[in-house]
Homo-oligomer: A and B are copies of this chain.
C-alpha cells in the first residue's frame, strides 16, 4: 500500500524562509510563528499518515454505494470524518463569529495539501463544504448565516455546489432548473443537476446544497441565474432538523477515479430553496465559491503528484534492476537500485522540481488571498484573480503528467492496482476537468484576466519579475542558473502577450488559439520565479549559518534542475502561439 509522509519541513521553509509569514504585515500573520505552524502541520501530518492515507485505496476499491436512496461511503470514512471534525480541522480558517478559528488561509492551504495528498476523494467532502460556507458567508443574509454556518464550520452539515446539468456544463446560460417563488418568500426548485461531488453520503446529519436555478420571467441566459440554499432536511427556526426536502439522488456515476467521493445525479422535485443574495445575480455568488474551488483544485494537482512522487522515490530506492553505467553502486547486491539510472532521475527530478515549485506558487497565492481579504488589498486581489486560472490549469495538467511519470517508475507494477500508483493518476485526472475544464481556464486567462483593469495586474507581475532580476543583478550565485533563464522565459511570455495584443484585435482566434500554450508558459514563468526566490532564500539561510546545509543545498539543486530542464518549454509554447490561428482553424468541421 502506498505510504504518505507530510512534507512539513518543506512547508516550514516556504512559510518562514520564503514568505516570512510571521514578519508580514498581513492581518493575523503575526500568530504564524514557526513553532506554532510546525505543531499544526505535524499534527495534520500524523492524522494524514495514520488515518487518511490507509483509507485511500479502500475508497478506490469499495467506492460509494447507493442503497434505498441513501449513499453509503467506503469502510472507515465515517470514523475518519469524525476524527477530522473532533480535531477542529474543518474550522481552521473559518470566521470565529460562526465557530471558526480565524486562522489565515495560507495555513489552511498547507493543511489542505496534506489531507489531499493522503486521500483526495475523502477530503472533497470537507472541501466542498468549505466552498459552500464561503458563498453563504459572502452573500447570505444574517439569518442564513446564523442558521447554516455554525454547523457547516464543524462539518456536522456538509455542503455541495450544483451547477452542471446534462446538457450544459461550461455554458450555464442554457440551464433549465427553475425556482418558483412561494408566498412565504421561499422557492420551489425543480430540475436535474449532474456531477454533484459529495451529493449525498452518510457522514453528516444534513447536506446544504447550493443550487443555481432560473426564476421564471427573469432575463435570458446567464443573466437570469440565481443561487439557492436547498437543504437535504429542512432546518427549523430553532435549528433542529425538520422534514426531508424534495431532493434525491438519481444515481452515482461510475468514474475513472475518486471512487471514494460520491458523484451524484441530483433530482430536485419542488424542493424548498432559499435565495442567496440578489435575484438573477447567482453567478456572482457562485464565483466566490468557484474561485476558491479553483485554487483548491490547482492544489489537488500537485498534491496528488506529491503523493505519487513519494512512492516513486521509495520504489526507485528499493527495486534492484540493472547497473549504474559509471560503476556499480550496490556491488554486493544482484543489481543496483533504479535510482542510479539517469533516466529514472530525470523522471524523479521532473516530479520533485514541479511539486516544490507548485507548492511555493500555491502558498504565495494563498498569502495573496489573505492580503486581499484581511487587508483589503486590491492589487493582491487583482493578482490572485489573474493567477487563479494558471494555478488551476497549469498545476492540474502537470500534476496529472507527474503522477503518470511516477507510475512509470514502477514499470508493470505501476499498471496493476495492487501498488496504488494507478489510483494517483486516475484521481489526479479529474482535476483537469472539474471547476472549469483547463481549456476554459486558458480562455479565462487570455480572454478576460489579461485585460482586467486595463492589463494592470499582468503588468504588475512582469514588473515583479523584472525587479527581482534587477535587485539581484550582482548576485553571481543566482545569475547564470536562475536569473538568466527566468529573464529569457519571462521575455517569451511577454512576447506572447504582445503577439495577442497585435494580432488578437484583427482576429480574436489568434489569441484564443494560443490560450492553452500561454497558460502553460505563464505557469512555467511563475514556477521559475518561485525557484529563483527559493534559491535566494536558501543561499541566504546558508550564509546565515543555517545548520541544515543538506536541505538548503538540495533545494538549490532542485531549482537548478527546473530552470535548466523545465523552463525551456516557454520557447516551444511561444513558437506555437506565434504560428497564429490559421493552421488551427483551417479545416471545415466536416473534415475532422
Chain A contacts to B: CB under 8 angstroms? 164, 167-171, 173-174, 194-195, 253-257, 263, 313, 316-317, 320-322, 325-326, 334-335, 337, 339-349, 352, 400, 404, 407-408, 411-412, 414-418, 422, 425-426, 429-430, 432-434, 437-439, 442-443, 447, 507-509, 512-513, 515-516, 550, 554, 557-558, 560-561, 564-565, 568-569, 571-572, 575-576, 579, 581, 583-587, 589, 591-592
Contact = CB atoms under 8 A, between A and B. Distances in A.
Contacts of A334: 174
Contacts of A512: 325, 341-343
B568 A411 contact: no
Contacts of A344: 439
Given A256-B426, A557-B586, 7 more contacts: A173-B335, A195-B412, A341-B512, A342-B513, A415-B433, A557-B583, A564-B583
A494 to B, nearest CB: 18
Given A352-B592, A411-B437, A515-B343, A586 B565 contact: no
Contact of A322 (B171, B348, B418, B508): B171
Contacts of A171: 320-322, 335
Contacts of A253: 416-418
A52 B349 CA distance: 42
Contact of A568 (B415, B575, B592): B575
Interface majority SS (helix, strand, loop, mixed), chain A: helix
Nearest to A430: B415
A412 B433 contact: yes
A524 to B, nearest CB: 11
Contacts of A345: 513, 584-585, 587
A343 B408 contact: no
A317 B433 contact: no
Contacts of A432: 408
A486 to B, nearest CB: 14
A432 B508 CA distance: 38
Contact of A571 (B340, B550, B557, B571): B571
A255 B416 contact: yes
A95 to B, nearest CB: 32
A581 B339 contact: no
Which residue among A317, A342, A550, A569 has the maximum number of chain B CB atoms within 10 Å of its CB? A342
A565 B579 contact: yes
A514 to B, nearest CB: 8
A349 B565 contact: no
Contact of A576 (B442, B507, B509, B568): B568
B558 A587 contact: yes
Contacts of A414: 433
